[in-house]
Structure 1
Amino acid sequence: MWISWAFFDRRDGTLRAAENAGEPTMTASMVKAWLVADYLASHGWDERLSTIIRDSANEPAWEIYALLGREKSIERMISVCGLTDSAPGEDLSMTLMSARDTVRLGRCLADGTAAGPRWTSWLLDEMRAVRGTGDFGIREAFAGPDRERIAIKNGWDKRQALGEWNVNCLAVAPAWIMAALTRYPSSLPLAHGAQICRNLVSELV
């Protein structure tokens, strides 16, 4: 079992983080938030982008990833968002990112640096509209209007060769940004990682 987290307070600019917050892990689908932002900044809107965020759709994500130059897009993320612990992986889902870099990515998405001023509101609205399997974790700890204001992009992948899950949560709220990253045995369900992300809220927010 491996857990890492970071919490950025947007009101006073302070960061709290786990001791291992600089240790990277594979992002799985969480990195699709950057992928969509990178495409918006360079190409503008595309009908495939909404389902990449809302449904974490893989086929259009791979198409966009290829159009953006694959690892070149990840290298842009590192440069544009000022990441220090991240690197391209063998494929999109194997992109490496730490908890503190995940919070930095959240800031980059929220302040318009990633997608640009024209598209940032649209991107965050799509992240608030995440649905289906990918709607889990951090914002489940909230109800009503508070939950509706939280933009998320989660990542989850059962890596059979390693015998473990990668389950990662990114949440962007009006007052804070939070990352929770996990690895744990594949014999446990996805819900186990979702619960870890949700439970961390009570300690951090």
Structure 2
Amino acid sequence: MTRLRLLMLSGLIVAVASGALVILVPATRSRLYNVAAQAYGATSPTPGRANIAMQAAPPPPTLRAGQVTIPTSPSFERFGWAFLDLRAKKLIGSTNKDTMVNTTESMVKPWLAADYFTRLGGAQPTDAMLRTITLMIEDSNDDAATTVYGADGGLGSIRRLVSTCKLTETHAGQSWSYTQITPADAVRYGRCIADGTAAGPKWTPWLLDKMRHVRGDVRDNNPSNVKVQGGHWGIIDALPQSLAKDTAIKNGWTYIYADARWHINCMAVHPDWVLTVEMQFAGSQTYTGLQQGANTCASVARQLLYTPDV
């Protein structure tokens, strides 16, 4: 039903319906005002004062469930995505979201940090280890990841990832980067980080903050330098600043010469949702190939982006 707001301005009653119609009625015609008020449920004006109804600000942009068209370039050997709406508790994605697997690469690094904190049992980590974990997340330092992985007990850490985060199709590989994971399990893993299950209440805010400060773009990647790698790209590139500032990310990427393919994953964790994109494709071994993967992750996020009408 149309709602009518009646205002008193300079001896006139101003009636506004849905912002589209203004009717000026002499304020002395109180009987007409009363009829209108009863008919439309309007609030009574205060004589001698403008009664101005304040409209609530529109909700901010967000990601929500929707259709995704898979890019046609590059030519993917494997491709899958999954989106978990934490508000509606709904998981959607590509038809192969529960079966397509990819090596996690650096996407698993937040878990290595979370597992380390949990295994401390409440003890305070050393400053040196906190610096190591920070480098592992913000710069995607592989040497730092190997250090933390060793402190976690190696493959046992991946087994704990599966059990702690209730993953169904994730399997340990020969090292942390070779862990096999599906898109659906990847969003469950992201949720596990976000809700504190992985790292606990003390360290979860710290870990998510590090994930919000990942540095560098695709041009900062050099195969000969595993200490400083640019990981701030992909899903985050498609988000407006109002949404990006609250979004934690950790991507994983490697050109694996054994199968001559890029293995790329993008994971973004927001308080309202988790999105993951996984792919393998043959392409340029330079950052040009990585940029194709980054663009694909951004494309998926852009298709799920919802900006309410103002």
Q: Give the TM-score, by structure 2 length.
A: 0.64
Q: Does 1:37 align with 2:114?
A: yes
Structure 1 position 174, deviation (Å): 2.0
AA partner of residue 5 (structure 1): W
Q: Which position in structure 2 is the counterpart of 1:204?
A: 304
Q: Which position in structure 1 is the counterpart of 2:92?
A: 16
SS in 1 for 2:79: strand
Q: Does the CA contact (< 8 Å) of 2:81 and 2:276 recur in 1? A: yes
Q: Quick one: distance in 2 between partners of 1:186 and 1:60?
A: 28
Q: Does the CA contact (< 8 Å) of 2:253 and 2:265 recur in 1? A: yes
Q: Which position in structure 1 is the counterpart of 2:247?
A: 150
Q: Does 1:94 align with 2:178?
A: yes
Q: Which position in structure 1 is the counterpart of 2:105?
A: 28
Whichever structure has more helix as a proportion of its residues is 1
Equivalent residue in structure 2 for 1:184, among 281, 285, 303: 281
Structure 1 position 92, deviation (Å): 1.2
Q: Which position in structure 1 is the counterpart of 2:162?
A: 78
Q: Does the CA contact (< 8 Å) of 2:193 and 2:204 recur in 1? A: yes
Runs (4 or more) in structure 1 with deviation over 3 Å come to none
SS in 2 for 1:177: strand
Q: Does the CA contact (< 8 Å) of 2:251 and 2:267 recur in 1? A: yes
Q: Quick one: distance in 1 between partners of 2:247 and 2:238?
A: 11
Q: Does the CA contact (< 8 Å) of 1:6 and 1:16 recur in 2? A: yes
Q: Does the CA contact (< 8 Å) of 2:239 and 2:302 recur in 1? A: no
Structure 1 position 202, deviation (Å): 2.4
Structure 1 position 109, deviation (Å): 0.3
Q: Quick one: distance in 2 between partners of 1:130 and 1:10?
A: 23
Percent of pairs identical after alignment? 40
Structure with max Cα Rg: 2
Give CA deviations for 1:43-97 in whole Å, capped at 9, x if unaligned: 2543211111111101111011111111100000000000001010011111101
Structure 1 position 20, deviation (Å): 0.8
Mean Cα deviation higher: 181-190 or 49-58: 181-190
Structure 1 position 143, deviation (Å): 2.6
Q: Does the CA contact (< 8 Å) of 1:159 and 1:186 recur in 2? A: no
Q: Does 1:125 align with 2:209?
A: yes
AA partner of residue 245 (structure 2): E
* Structure 2 residue runs without a partner (length 5+): 1-75, 217-229, 306-310
AA partner of residue 203 (structure 1): Q
* Structure 1 residue runs without a partner (length 5+): none
Structure 1 position 173, deviation (Å): 1.1
Q: Quick one: distance in 2 between partners of 1:128 and 1:122?
A: 10
Q: Quick one: distance in 2 between partners of 1:159 and 1:26?
A: 10
